[in-house]
Structure 1
Amino acid sequence: MAPNLSGYHRALDLFEDMVGGVPGDRWSAPSPCPEWTARDVTGHVIAGQYAILALATGRPAPDAPCRPGVFAADDALQAWRTARKECDAALTPEALRRPIPFGTLGEVPLIDFLGASVLEPLVHSWDLARATGQPARLDPGLVHHAFATAQVVAAGLRRDGRLGPALTPPRGADEQTRLLAFLGRAAEPAATRPAD
């Protein structure tokens, strides 16, 4: 694993932990993402791995179904692990140098895109946690990184209708709560961590 991909891999590890912690009877539970269940959220992030695989290899991305849960049908954890393994195998040094389109920034190397891709699995880890009753405390370092990314990409996502309006966070909210509010998610402030 390249050192500058450590945050990306930590975000994927967190998401995998959340998928593995979903009780069997909670896959159809509604998530904070409108009209999506826990399975849909999981399928969406799985589809994201296949989209990155397509960027790495130059092959077409899979068609996006109207219900992303099809990517997580049956054994969602195994479907996630398969997608992640295939994507990881494609992230060769050559692939990581491949220029890819990145919105208004033009083209960036895939490795830089992956650095910004922490946002997606991180926030959907929270969505999955909320949908399935799991603890929703996120890695503060990843939250800080993801918030910086969100401020760059949110306007385009809102313009495309893929992200709702920002909410006003509670006074004194921690960074996780402010990030979630910026992304249109209402959340109670995360528990304060004891001082180290």
Structure 2
Amino acid sequence: MGQEPGGYRRALDLFEGVVCGVPRDGWDAPSPCEGWTALDVAGHVIAGQYRIRALALGAPPPGPADDPRRHVAGDALMAWRTARKECAAALTPEALRRPVPVGSLGELPLGDYLGAYILEPLVHAWDLARATGQPTRLDPDLVHHAFATAHVVAAPLRAAGRLGPALPAPPGADEQTRLLAFLGRSA
């Protein structure tokens, strides 16, 4: 079994907890991600696990994720657990040291990349919880680290049309609300 970095593992655990809480009839609920349902959000995060697995193995990443549902045929929880297990098995100490491309930032060891990657499952856990009527409070420590990552990755994502504009956060908002507003979500 692999060696998932702590914050990354906690973000995946949080996401899995939300997936477990989705009611059977909740997968078609609209999510805060424009045009996506709860099932699309789950499929997107599952696709991310397969991308990380490919990076860990030094293999080409899977094709574009324009259809996130292709990763969730059948039971979404089972699809998530399968993807997570396969990804975790690939996260050997050697794989975590492997340099991986990080856009304009060049390359980072995969373990460092995963430290920043917590933004993805964390924010999508909130999206999924919001779509399915579950509690939306996130781990404050993970939020703090994810916010730092968001400041680095937001501009290129916005330029590529993959992230909407930031929204104003209410005065006195907590860090989670500020993070979500920065990512274009209204908490």
TM-score, L = length of structure 1: 0.92
Matched residues in 2 for 1:66 and 1:146: separation? Answer: 24
Does residue 127 of structure 2 align to residue 131 of structure 1? no
2:37: which partner in 1?
37
Shift of 1:124: 0.0
Aligned length: 186
Higher relative contact order (CA 8 A, sep 6+): 2
1:151: which partner in 2?
151
Does residue 12 of structure 2 align to residue 16 of structure 1? no
Q: Tell me the amino acid that sits aligned with residue 27 of structure 2.
A: W
SS in 2 for 1:100: strand
1:185: which partner in 2?
185
4+ residue runs of structure 1 moved beyond 3 angstroms?
A: none
Paired-residue identity, %: 72
SS in 1 for 2:108: strand
Shift of 1:58: 1.5
Deviations 1:84-138 (A, max 9, x none): 0000000011111111111222111001000000000000000000100000000
Shift of 1:62: 1.9
Does residue 17 of structure 2 align to residue 50 of structure 1? no
Q: State whether residues 44 and 65 of structure 2, in contact with CA within 8 Å, keep that contact through their aligned partners in structure 1.
A: no
Q: Tell me the amino acid that sits aligned with residue 156 of structure 1.
A: P
1:73: which partner in 2?
73
Shift of 1:70: 2.1
Q: State whether residues 100 and 110 of structure 1, in contact with CA within 8 Å, keep that contact through their aligned partners in structure 2.
A: yes
Matched residues in 2 for 1:150 and 1:104: separation? Answer: 15
Shift of 1:65: 4.7
SS in 2 for 1:25: helix
SS in 2 for 1:17: helix
Q: Tell me the amino acid that sits aligned with residue 149 of structure 2.
A: T
Q: State whether residues 11 and 142 of structure 2, in contact with CA within 8 Å, keep that contact through their aligned partners in structure 1.
A: yes
Shift of 1:60: 2.0
TM-score, L = length of structure 2: 0.96
Matched residues in 2 for 1:123 and 1:65: separation? Answer: 17
Equivalences for 1:105-124 in 2 at 5 Å?
Answer: 105-124=105-124
Matched residues in 2 for 1:67 and 1:101: separation? Answer: 23
Shift of 1:59: 1.5
Q: Tell me the amino acid that sits aligned with residue 132 of structure 2.
A: T
2:163: which partner in 1?
163
CA RMSD of aligned residues (A): 1.2
Matched residues in 2 for 1:174 and 1:66: separation? Answer: 33
* Residue ranges of structure 2 left out of the alignment (5+ in a row): none
Shift of 1:7: 0.5
* Residue ranges of structure 1 left out of the alignment (5+ in a row): 188-196
Matched residues in 2 for 1:70 and 1:34: separation? Answer: 18
